[in-house]
Every structure is written in C-alpha cells, then in structure tokens.
Structure 1
Amino acid sequence: MLESKFNFPGQTAFYKGKVRDVYTIDDKYMAMVVSDRISAFDVVLPRPIPYKGQVLNQVAAIMLEATKDIVPNWVKAVPLPNVTIGLKCETFPVEMVVRGNLTGHAWRTYKSGKRELCGVTMPEGLKENDFFPAPIITPTTKAHEGHDEDISREEIIAQGLVSKEDYEKLEKYTLALFERGKQLAAKRGLILVDTKYEFGKIGDTIYVIDEIHTPDSSRYFYAEGYEEKQQKGEAQKQLSKEFVREWLMENGFQGKDGQTVPEMTDAFVNSVSERYIELFENITGQKFVKEDVSVADAEKKVIDTLKSL
C-alpha cells in the first residue's frame, strides 16, 4: 500500500506523514495506516517496499505488548496487518533518542572531534560501535517537515517544550523501555544499539505512542562476533534499515539540496522487501506471513473495529 484514502465516520482530521497515514476519529481515537512508503535522510523515496508496512506494524505491536507493564501505550486494536487503532494523545514535541553504543550520528559527531551531543558529554577513548559506560539520551525536536534537530534536556525544559516534571518521567520511561528492549534483543542473539521513543499524554497519564523497537526506529547488531569485530576494527553486522542509507550514499544521495534519488530498480526494491522480512523474523523469532488486504476490506474492518471500542 503506497497511500490510503479512507473516509471514516466521525473522522475529524487526517495527517500524512513520511510513511504513515493517520486518521483522527471523534478526537478520541487514531487509526494509523503504516504504508509501504520508505524514507531516508528525511526524504520519501519514489517507490514503495512491498510488505514493509506490515513488518513495521507487527513488530511494533509485539514490542508494545511486551513493554506495557513499564508504561501504558496508545494501542487499542490491531485489526489489520498494517493498521493500528489507538488513543489520541497530546503528543510531546520531542523524540527521546537513546543510545547504548557510539554509532551513527553520535559517532559522526565524535569523529569530528566533539565530545558533547545534546548536552551529554561522551567519554574520551571510544571507538566506533563501542558501548557507552551507560546508555545516553540525546533528544531531538519532532519536525513534521524537514529534519529533526538535536536539542538538550536543558533547552527542552527552558523553552517549555516539556515541563521538568514530565521530562523526568520521559527519561525514566525511556531508559526502562531501552533496558527491556535490550533484554528482548539478547534473547534473539541481538544487541539493541539505539532507538527512539515518542510519548503523548491524556490528562495526567503519559503513554508511549507510535512504534517501538522496529528496524526503522532502531538499530540492532548481531551479538555473535561483536567483540571480535570491535577488536579488529571491523564493521558490525547490522539489523536495521541502515543498508538503505548506505546504498543511497554509495549512489551520491544524502538528502541534500540538488541531489537526486538514484533509480530504484525492481531488483533493488525486492531485495529491500526481503531484507525487511528477514528483519522481522530475526527481531521477533516468528515466521513472517505475507498478508494482502484490499482497500475496501481494510476500510470496513477499521470501521467495524472502531464501532466495537
């Protein structure tokens, strides 16, 4: 599914994100359709990836169910493989990025000579992909368009984006969710390297929203061989959509002005789809079952589910 065009009874708003179509119903519920669109460097690529939406939605459902004892989550029902229905929350305008290893953006910052990221000091003497002494939280602003921006804890509170009391709760939930995510990953022979969480609020209750621990929102390493690769200075074997970013960079695209997305051939699109299915099976330990749902059937199933809530 590249995009959805539903019109639900009681629909009060519609938002089309990079990869999700979000419908607000009666200002109480949200129906999130996880499309097969794929983005990288904050750019939506021109071709969809078959079954990608199903992979992300189902991984998120499994992970939210496995962490609901830590913090309430927004999910009320998962009526279709690529659709989740849940509570409409007042969203906090920051994303809580948590890092266990010096990888990606953190490594690029470190390699440039800087030792501070989002107000957090990174210790000297680390190599790429080394573990931090303890996980660090490096939040970003939450941009509807363009790039999310790094921001510090102090700036978030000073600017009134999140109250000090709520932010302290977000930090607590973030670290607890990350620890659970690491435990779940370890059972699958994986290391949860970094991830991001989004939170919302209804009344005084904070909920974790959107997706968690998916290959789009997280980076995983294979635990087997990790130490040996670190000692030899070799690249770690990853389980994330980083391979898509790497392909784009190899073909001269990093989302910068004037750059053109390289041609996505059928072979490349199919290889990405297969990789996402591999990600699902490795992260969850479950066999992936391809499910095709017609638009008409999807709309009816969502309407029937909303009526039952």
Structure 2
Amino acid sequence: MSTADQVLAVNDDLPIRTNKPVHSGKVRSVYWLTEDDSKRLIQEKGYDVASDAPLAIMVISDRISAFDCIWHAEGGLKGVPGKGAALNAISNHWFDLFKKNNLADSHILDIPHPFVWIVQKAKPVMIEAICRNYITGSMWRAYEKGEREFCGIELPEGLEKDKVLPELLITPSTKGILKGIPGVPEADDVNISRKNIEENFSAFNFTKAEDINKYETLLKEGFGVISKALAEVDQTFVDTKFEFGYVNDAAGNEKLIYMDEVGTPDSSRIWDTKEYQAGNIVENSKEGFRQFLLNHFPDPDILLNKERMPEREALARDNALPHEALMDISRTYISIAEKITGNAIHLSENPKQEIIDVLRNDYGLID
C-alpha cells in the first residue's frame, strides 16, 4: 500500500444520511444529520443535550493548510499521513483534561472513529481567541517595526524576539467577516481590542456582556491546563487559538463551551523546551511547515501579502512540494501527539472505509 492511499484527503463525499449540503472547511467537513437521526441518537446514546438539538458528524482530513491554501506533494500525496488522527487525538486528550479540571464542556458528544466527532450545533462566538505567552510571529513582526499597541494592549519597551511576555496576553481577531462594527474592518482575521468587543458584544454573538469575562477566563484556564501538561513532556506552549460557542444542555440551560480543536499543532505554537533552553527554536507545530514554505519559494512575499492571494492560490495549486516536506510534518505531528497522549498513533490502511463501517454498523447513519 502506498503512503498516498493512507491519506484521507477528500472527506466531503461520504454517504452519510443528510438533507443539507456538506460544509467542507480547510481541514474538516461537516454533515448535518436529519432531525430524525439527531433525535434517535440523543435518545439511544444518552447525550446530555436538548432532545431536539441538531447534531452533526465532523470528519477530519489529512489535508495541510498554510497561508490559507491547501498544499500537496509529489507522488500524488494530497495530505499528511497521520495528521488527522494526530490532531483529533490531541484535541480529545485536552478536552478530557478540561473535564477533569472542571473547565467548560466542548461541542463533542461522541468519538466513533479517530477521524470522526459527533457534535452538537453551537452558536459560535465570532472571535478567534488567541492567547500568547511569548512574543513571536506576527506580534514580533509588528513590535520590531515599532508598533507598541497590539489589540488595544500597550506593550512595554525592551521585549526580545521569542522571549516570554511579562504576562499571558489575549489578542483576539475576527472570525469571519463582520459588518457594521465601528472601528472593525469588514475582513476575516482582523485584530480587535477588548473595547471593540465590549462596545458591540452582541455583534460578536455574545449573549450578554458578562460573558466576555467568562470567555477570557476559559481561555486562560484552558491555556494553563495545556501549558502545565506540555511542560511535563518537555514542551513549551508558546501561543494558541481557541474558539467558543453557546449550546443548551438537556435541561435547556445555555452554556459557553469550547469549540473546534484545542491545543493542536495546527492551532498553536509548541516548542521543544530543552532545545529552547539551549538557544534553539524547534517547532513541534505547523509553524515549521510555514517556515519551510517561506524558504522554499523564491518570493516569500506571495505567502505573506494578502493582496497577492490569487498568486498564492496558483502557487499552492501548481506546485507539488517535495514528498519529504509532507513526510517531515507527518513525523512532527505523530511524534507530538504520542508525547502528549502517551499512546501510539496508528495509520489506518483505509480510513474512509473504516468510517463508513462504524457509522453504518454502530450509528445507523449510512444506508
């Protein structure tokens, strides 16, 4: 069997029973279950949600997205072997740890297969909640240019690249294009301040103003739990992105929960602690792949400049990367997942068929 066969690159063509279009994101695809199937599963499996809550099947893929494009390699390799299983295993591990520490719930109700989550529909908070413990990446680039205000936060003089910040900073950005918010450009992924959120909390989908404090608390608590656990396996949690949303439980109470993935190499920077202490940055996250791309192409501005998006899309579409580039990230993802979870990540021989079998036999979702 070739490596390419073990990769789940296309994940929006599964024969799962649905009466809505399949939503395919950069990495995950979402299948909304019919009302009947949602009700049946809630009853059969005893999920702690309202009896009429809409449920969905989320299927992760092995696709690799960087700089808002999907990349592929020579030899028909359309993704990174083991990446999907590694990401889900890491997220599942952190969500379990959050439960043990009495943090908020997540939107995940069940995990039928290493590639699959059953989730409840949540009302998303329209914020990419970013938490930073070290100054690096876009924050360092802005600081180096002389900017001292970041997301409404005044940064002190004298900070050094890749060094720990005086305190954990929350630097939110917009999730999707939000219209009609004073002082917030109508574009995805725009930095915003706490003041922007306070003055327009309902535009960001917060139910009430007090929930801004709640989301910041959940962000810091989640960051703290992951950071402590990573330190125990000699890894440094540099920064990360969380997403939040609202759901109702079986009793009808609305609650703020964690959504999407948490603490993964796709949504975080994770450094090898011993290497860092020796003065080297060794990335155990997607950042290493981003750096590879910046060095691989002669004009890195295409990857960094949002004005050049059509050129960037062409670059990703027309260039098969060296096979080794994706195998390298495969090793990084599998290795960090095994360190975090303490369990081996197994590469499936035929992930698509396995998913079909389990959803047909154990959940009755495939005819």
TM-score under structure 1 length normalisation? 0.90
| CA deviation map 1:88-128 (0-9, x unaligned) | 11111111100011011111111111111111122211111
Structure 2's unaligned 5+ residue stretches are 1-7, 36-52, 73-77, 178-186, 249-253
Q: Is the contact between residue 171 and residue 193 of structure 2 (CA under 8 Å) also seen in structure 1?
A: yes
Q: Find out whether 1:66 has 2:116 as its counterpart.
A: no
- CA apart distance, 1:228: 4.2
- Is 1:247 the counterpart of 2:292 in the alignment? yes
Matched, 1:96 2:129: yes
Q: CA deviation at 1:302?
A: 2.6
Q: How far off its partner does 1:129 sit?
A: 1.3
Asked whether the 8 Å contact 1:43–1:255 carries over to 2, the reply is: no
Instruction: Trace 1:247-286 onto structure 2 (pairs within 5 A).
Output: 247-250=292-295, 251=297, 252-253=299-300, 254=303, 256=305, 257=308, 258-259=311-312, 260-261=315-316, 262-286=319-343
Which of residues 9, 19, 22 is equivalent to 1:14? 22
* 2:246 is the alignment partner of 1:201: yes
Q: Distance in 1 between matches of 2:357 and 2:148?
A: 53
> Does 2:152 correspond to 1:111?
no
- Tell me the C-alpha RMSD between the 2 structures: 2.1
Q: Whose Rg is larger?
A: 2
Q: Which has the higher contact order (CA 8 A, sep 6+)?
A: 2
- Deviation beyond 6 Å, 4+ runs, structure 1: none
Residue 52 (str. 1) matches residue 83 (str. 2): yes
Given that residues 81 and 291 in structure 1 are in contact (C-alpha distance below 8 angstroms), is that contact kept between their aligned partners in structure 2? no
CA offsets 1:199-225 (integer angstroms, 9 cap, x no match): 110142111011111110111112224
User: Match for residue 3 of structure 2?
Assistant: none
Structure 1 unpaired stretches of 5+: 230-234
Is the contact between residue 102 and residue 128 of structure 1 (CA under 8 Å) also seen in structure 2? yes
- Pair 1:214 & 2:221 matched: no
TM-score (norm 2): 0.77
Residue 222 of structure 2: aligned partner: 177
Q: Which amino acid aligns with 2:356?
A: E
Could you tell me how far apart the structure 2 residues matched to 1:185 and 1:94 are? 25
Q: Secondary structure of the residue that 1:175 maps to in structure 2?
A: helix
> Which amino acid counterpart does residue 171 of structure 2 have in structure 1?
T
Post-superposition shift, 1:289? 2.0
- The structure whose residues are more often strand, as a share, is 1
Aligned length in residues: 302
